[in-house]
Amino acid sequence: MRLADAHCHLLDSAFSADLAEVVERAKRAGVVYMVSSTLSVAEAMRHASMAGELMEAGVFWSIGLDPRLYSREAEEVEELARKFSHSIAAIGEVGLDFKMARGVEEREVQRRVFSDFISLAMELKKPIVVHSRWSQKAVLDLLEEHRADLVLLHAYTGSSSDVERAAKLGYLISVSTSVTRHAGTRRVAAEAPLECLVLESDSPALAPVAGERNEPANIAVAAAEVARIRGVEAAVVSEAAFENTVGLYSLPMSLLSSSRALDT
Ligand SMILES: [Zn+2]
């Protein structure tokens, strides 16, 4: 079974002691590709210094920014995305987090920065990985306004009508490993059309078991659970999600047969 982790954070400090083992376990579980997202200038610089080696191990890079850092680091992250556009698979995660931003002004800053990132992704012809907490409608409105076409809605928990709208717009809908325990995620896993479905771990967050450190190897658990919910074979889900992920990020199929261990 070929698997892909469409979104995770492997440079998070939770993995600083054993990143090579984590990637190795993912490989043994059948996870060929992982797309790891950075969330700050510091993290992006760190990923840049290891990007070649990570890519050989199947770990691709998406450059994004934590909404809490929008007013401080957005410009610098945009510059880095341009500088490393040859090396990154996507822009993101970026988006709106209205749980974090309760005030009108703060939400306006988020909209402005997110809009800039959508424009940048389109200019660089990269997909955009989107965070949408408490902001599903606002996110879809902005993406549609910009006519964004390469979109992954990460750890998606939108309503049934949001799922329908996103699918109509041709966006990919990402189901996280917490599908084992989260009602909204289970509903999305049942409703998303197969041609829009991808799987992600969002490691180290959203583990199948609450409170545990998550890792990309758990994509196998998510594939099995989504298949159970949909009443199909796990291979049907994993293969569709794999192909959708490879297609969105334009990942090189050459890695399928040979990839190296991470030497850190
Ligand atoms: Zn994430």
CA of 191 from ligand 1 middle (Å) equals 22
pLDDT tens profile 64-107:
999 999 999 999 999 999 999 999 999 999 999 999 988 999 99
Model pLDDT, residue 253:
75
CB 10 within 8 A of CB 37: no
Residue 154 CA, ligand 1 centroid: distance in Å: 7
Cα radius of gyration rounded to whole Å, the chain? 17
What are the structure tokens assigned to 165, written together? Answer: 């709208």
* Token code pair at residue 247: 């297609």
Decide: 252 and 259 in contact? Cβ < 8 Å.
Answer: no
52 CA → ligand 1 middle, Å = 22
Distance CA 55, CA 36 (A): 10
216-261 confidence digits (pLDDT tens): 999 999 999 999 999 999 999 999 999 999 999 999 876 666 567 7
CA 93 to ligand 1 centroid distance, Å: 6
* Gap from CA of 61 to ligand 1 centroid (Å): 12
On the question of pLDDT at 264 being above 70, the answer is: no
Please give the pLDDT value at position 259.
Answer: 63
Q: To the nearest 10°, the Cα dihedral for 257, 179, 172, 258?
A: -10
Spacing, Cα 34 to ligand 1 middle (Å) = 12
pLDDT of residue 21: 97
CA of 8 to the centre of ligand 1 (A): 6
Write out pLDDT tens, residues 199-213.
999 999 999 999 999
Dist. CA 263 → ligand 1 center (Å): 25
74 Cα: distance to centroid of ligand 1 (angstroms): 17
**Tens digits of residue pLDDT in 182-195:** 999 999 999 999 99
Beta strands in the chain (DSSP E): 3-8, 31-38, 59-63, 90-97, 128-133, 151-153, 172-176, 197-200
185 CA distance to ligand 1 centroid (A)? 15
Determine the distance separating the centroid of ligand 1 and the alpha carbon of 188, expressed in angstroms: 17
Q: Starting from the edge strand earliest in sequence, which strands make up the sheet with 59-63, in order? A: 3-8, 31-38, 59-63, 90-97, 128-133, 151-153, 172-176, 197-200
| pLDDT for residue 261 | 73
Ligand 1 mean position, distance from CA 92 (Å): 9
Token readout for 132 is 């949408």
Q: Looking up tokens 């928990």, which residue turns up?
A: 157
Nearest C-alpha neighbor of 31 from the set 41, 23, 43, 42: 23
| Cα separation of the two ends of the chain | 27
Count the neighbouring beta carbons within 10 Å of the beta carbon of residue 83: 13
pLDDT at 110: 96
pLDDT one-digit tens code per residue, 111-158: 999 999 999 999 999 999 999 999 999 999 999 999 999 999 999 999
DSSP state of 260: P
pTM score, whole prediction:
0.95
Please give the backbone phi and psi of residue 16, each rounded to the nearest 5 degrees, phi first.
-65, -25
Helix axes 234-249, 219-230, angle to 10 degrees: 120
Query: What domains can you pick out in the chain, each with its CATH number?
Result: 3-254 (3.20.20.140)
pLDDT score, position 255: 64
28 alpha carbon – ligand 1 mean position (Å): 23
